[in-house]
Chains A and B, each alone.
Chain A
Amino acid sequence: MAKENRILFVEGADDLHTIKAICQHFKINETFIIEVPDGEGKIPTKKARQNELGGIDNVLKATRLNLIAGSSAVARLGIVIDADEDLTSQWQKVSSILEKAGYSNLPASPDSDGTIIKQDFLPIFGVWIMPDNVLTRGYLETFLTFLVPENNKSWEKAKSCVNDLEDKPFIKTNVDHTTKAEIHTFLAWQEEPGKPFGTAITAKYLQAENPNCNKFVEWLNRLFIK
Chain B
Amino acid sequence: MPTTTVEKIKKPETSESKKDELLLDSLEITGYRCFEHLTIEKLGQVNLIVGKNNVGKTALLEALWFYSRRGFSEFLLDNLYSRKEIKRSIGSSDDPIEINERLKLLKHLFFGRPEIDSEPSIKIGKLSNDSSNLTVRLELHEEAHLTYRDDRDRNKDKNILRNGKFLFFVRYVLGEKFYSNPLNSYMNLIFNYESMSESDFIKCQFVQTKGNIHNSDEQLWDNIVLTTLETELTEALKIIQPNIQRIAFTGESLGGDGRVAFASFSNLSERFSLSSLGEGMTRLLKISLALTNSQNGILLIDEIESGLHYSVLPDVWKLIFKTAKDLNVQVFATTHSKDCVEAFAQAAYDSPEDGMLIRLERQGEKIIAKTIEEEMLVDAVNYEVEVR
Contact B361 A72 (CB under 8 A): yes
Interface size on A, residues (CB 8 A): 20
Is A73's CB within 8 Å of the partner chain B? yes
Interface size on B, residues (CB 8 A): 24
Contact B386 A71 (CB under 8 A): yes
Contact B363 A65 (CB under 8 A): no
Is B171's CB within 8 Å of the partner chain A? no
- Counting chain B CB atoms within 10 Å of each CB, the highest count among A66, A69, A71, A73 belongs to A69
Contact A70 B380 (CB under 8 A): yes
Q: In residues 52-84 of chain A, which contact B (Cβ within 8 Å)?
A: 61-62, 65-66, 68-74
Contact A71 B363 (CB under 8 A): no
A217 to chain B, nearest CB (A): 27
Is A192's CB within 8 Å of the partner chain B? no
Contact B382 A40 (CB under 8 A): yes
**Measured CA separation A42–B385 after assembly (Å):** 12
Contacts of B378 in A (CB 8 A): 43, 45
Q: In residues 341-383 of chain B, which contact A (Cβ within 8 Å)?
A: 342, 345-346, 349, 359, 361, 363, 372, 376-383
A37 to chain B, nearest CB (A): 6
Partner of B382 from the list A43, A68, A73, A74 (CB cut-off 8 Å) is: A43
**Measured CA separation A61–B383 after assembly (Å):** 9
B73 to chain A, nearest CB (A): 32
Contact A70 B385 (CB under 8 A): yes
Partner of B386 from the list A39, A41, A74 (CB cut-off 8 Å) is: A74
**Measured CA separation A61–B372 after assembly (Å):** 15
Partner of A39 from the list B349, B363, B382, B387 (CB cut-off 8 Å) is: B382
Contact B342 A66 (CB under 8 A): no
Q: A43-B346, A65-B376 are in contact. Are A71 and B382 (CB under 8 A)?
A: no
Contact A71 B383 (CB under 8 A): no
Q: A68-B376, A71-B361 are in contact. Are A41 and B381 (CB under 8 A)?
A: yes
Is B104's CB within 8 Å of the partner chain A? no
Contact A41 B383 (CB under 8 A): yes
Partner of A43 from the list B50, B349, B385, B387 (CB cut-off 8 Å) is: B349
Contacts of B382 in A (CB 8 A): 39-43, 45
Q: A43-B346, A43-B349, A45-B349 are in contact. Are A70 and B384 (CB under 8 A)?
A: no
A13 to chain B, nearest CB (A): 18
Contact A65 B385 (CB under 8 A): yes
- Counting chain A CB atoms within 10 Å of each CB, the highest count among B50, B52, B377, B386 belongs to B386
Q: In residues 26-59 of chain A, which contact B (Cβ within 8 Å)?
A: 37, 39-43, 45
Contacts of A121 in B (CB 8 A): 361, 363
Contact A71 B349 (CB under 8 A): no
B17 to chain A, nearest CB (A): 32
Q: A43-B345, A69-B376 are in contact. Are A62 and B381 (CB under 8 A)?
A: no
A212 to chain B, nearest CB (A): 31
**Measured CA separation A70–B363 after assembly (Å):** 15
Partner of B383 from the list A39, A72, A73, A120 (CB cut-off 8 Å) is: A39
**Binary flags per residue of B18-55, CB closer than 8 Å to A gives 1, else 0:** 00000000000000000000000000000000111000
Contact B379 A61 (CB under 8 A): yes
Q: A42-B382, A45-B378 are in contact. Are A69 and B372 (CB under 8 A)?
A: yes
**Measured CA separation A74–B387 after assembly (Å):** 10
Is B137's CB within 8 Å of the partner chain A? no
Partner of A70 from the list B52, B345, B386 (CB cut-off 8 Å) is: B386
**Binary flags per residue of A138-177, CB closer than 8 Å to B gives 1, else 0:** 0000000000000000000000000000000000000000
**Measured CA separation A41–B349 after assembly (Å):** 14
- Counting chain B CB atoms within 10 Å of each CB, the highest count among A40, A45, A65, A68 belongs to A65
Contact A71 B345 (CB under 8 A): no
Contacts of B52 in A (CB 8 A): 71
**Measured CA separation A69–B383 after assembly (Å):** 11
B19 to chain A, nearest CB (A): 30
A101 to chain B, nearest CB (A): 11
**Measured CA separation A40–B382 after assembly (Å):** 6
Contacts of A42 in B (CB 8 A): 342, 346, 381-382
Contacts of A65 in B (CB 8 A): 376, 379-380, 383, 385
**Measured CA separation A121–B50 after assembly (Å):** 17
Is B388's CB within 8 Å of the partner chain A? yes
Contact B383 A37 (CB under 8 A): yes
Contact A73 B381 (CB under 8 A): no
Contact B379 A70 (CB under 8 A): no
Contact A69 B361 (CB under 8 A): no
Q: A41-B384, A45-B349, A62-B383 are in contact. Are A69 and B377 (CB under 8 A)?
A: yes
Q: A68-B376, A69-B372, A69-B376 are in contact. Are A43 and B381 (CB under 8 A)?
A: yes
Which partner residue on chain B sits nearest A73 by CB separation? B386
B260 to chain A, nearest CB (A): 38
| The 10 nearest A-B residue pairs measured at CB | A41-B382, A73-B386, A69-B380, A65-B385, A70-B385, A39-B382, A69-B372, A121-B363, A65-B380, A39-B383
A/B interface sample: 15 pairs, CB < 8 A: A39-B383, A40-B382, A42-B382, A43-B342, A43-B378, A43-B381, A43-B382, A45-B378, A61-B379, A66-B385, A69-B372, A69-B380, A71-B387, A71-B388, A120-B363
